[in-house]
Amino acid sequence: MPSLYIDGTWTGGSAGTAPVINPYDASTICEVDQAGPDDVDRAVAAARTAFDSGPWRATSCGERGEILGRIADLLVRDREEIARSETLDTGKTLVEGRQDVDDVTAVFRYYAGLADKDAGRVVDTGNPDVVSRIVHEPVGVCVLITPWNYPLLQLSWKVAPAIAAGNTMVIKPSEVTPLTSIKLVELCAEAGVPAGVVNILLGTGPDVGAPLTEHADVDMVSFTGGLNTGRSIIRASAETVKRTAVELGGKNPNVVFADTDFELAVDYAMLAVFLHSGQVCSAGARLIIEDSIADDVVDEIVRRAQRIKLGNGLDDGVEVGPLVSAQHLEKIENFVAAARAEGATIRCGGARPDAPELKNGYFYLPTVITDLPQGSELIKEETFGPLLTVERFSTEEEAIRLGNDTEYGLAGAVFTQDMGRANRVANALRHGTVWINDFHPYFPGAEWGGMGRSGNGRELGPTGLAEYQEIKHIWNNTAPEPQRWFSGE
């Protein structure tokens, strides 16, 4: 089946095909079409026409909400198929894949319910002859660029509010993990999204992503991914003054005080960093722990990390799958090599596994690293791998300082039984989400996004819808009279 979707038709690409690789064993899952410059122009033109003159502009908020609800129903229907595809594509466990589909379904249901709740507002001008209204309208043609780690989930955070607001779009998923994005577009079409409203192009960032962000007929770019690519998108969008919303990752602190229950401290520290082999933008890769409990907690984390079961995400009992690609595996190895060169202590991991059944895949052992200098690259840079660094503190003030010692500001957590201290620290951390005695949860009604170099804009919640809306003021003088500003007649 062709894998590009342009103006309501599945079609091949003008740039050949590329393999989609299963990271468990480096086998080829399938070949997918690749878009070229002509495909970019056709997809943007289809979205532009659908927005400017197609029937989509006439759909009501309620109708768009009904479409989103139907997409949610189809996700439930195809849950197992989608979860399996996500596991094959990304390497994550089937349990995680199923949870992803459930989370995506919740996002579509949330925006289905929110779509017709925005009536704007009336502004009191003090003049009874004037009706002044604030209304929200769609931005226009949106380019949605998503990452490889949570391809379906991250796409839902963009597609659902974009549809709810009445936009049209061109989707560019990661070339590494495109399969569930293709499936979601199929479900959009089945749910009744008109031709031209949702389009998808596959290909690399330079070949497809860059031309889309530079295109004069695109009104907005929403991007989730790396800092350097995000900077390039912001620069490219400036030429045509496009709206941009970029989420650029994080280096997230997990701050643990000594009064935390031992089991909670160990369990959540591991969940924070080793889920999906650390390939999570909100991963708690920095364990910042009070000195008096650090040795015992870290010793137990090391013991348990060495027992984590690696393997094929489709197999029962597997707890962690591979990294997503050979290139990413090499990146993780380079981070650890740099840490060793700085004199760090590798408490466990720090290598590929030697199990014969894992030799063809992109596996890396869960790794705990201590004794790093504070300015270490491993502490400062987002690694997106199963690498936990340990930093110690003695006072609340020091914990806050360490937690904020990052150019990123996406997410973080604080663990303590003292709720006064928990809220002081949560308020002081400069991160877009701070969890207290928890790590990783999100829900569709709460905004997600970061501060600093973690990006701008927000996804999810009412603000996630507002990102895809323009604000218009309509002033209606119901009793106009000549003003006589000028004497001539």
- The residue whose two tokens read 């796409």 is 155
Task: Tell me the residue type at 231.
Answer: R
CA atoms of 244 and 392, how far apart (whole Å): 38
- The one catalytic residue among 86, 96, 175, 247: 247
**Which residues are CB-neighbours of 44 under 8 A, at least 6 positions away?**
141, 170, 212, 215, 217, 218
- Token duo for residue 228: 């350097």
Three-state DSSP at 292 gives helix
Asked if 154 and 455 count as a contact pair (C-beta separation under 8 A), the reply is no
Reported as half-sphere exposure (CB side, CA atoms, 13 A), residue 440 has a value of 21
281 is catalytic: yes
DSSP H helices, 244-351, are: 262-274, 291-305, 326-341
**Which residues are CB-neighbours of 102 under 8 A, at least 6 positions away?**
79
- Token duo for residue 43: 């997809």
**Which residues are CB-neighbours of 100 under 8 A, at least 6 positions away?**
83, 86, 92, 150, 152, 153
- The one catalytic residue among 142, 188, 281, 348: 281
**Which residues are CB-neighbours of 95 under 8 A, at least 6 positions away?**
none
Asked if 200 and 188 count as a contact pair (C-beta separation under 8 A), the reply is no
- Token duo for residue 423: 């809220």
- The 433-436 sheet, strands edge to edge: 345-348, 367-370, 387-393, 286-290, 253-256, 411-415, 433-436
Which of the residues are catalytic? 247, 281
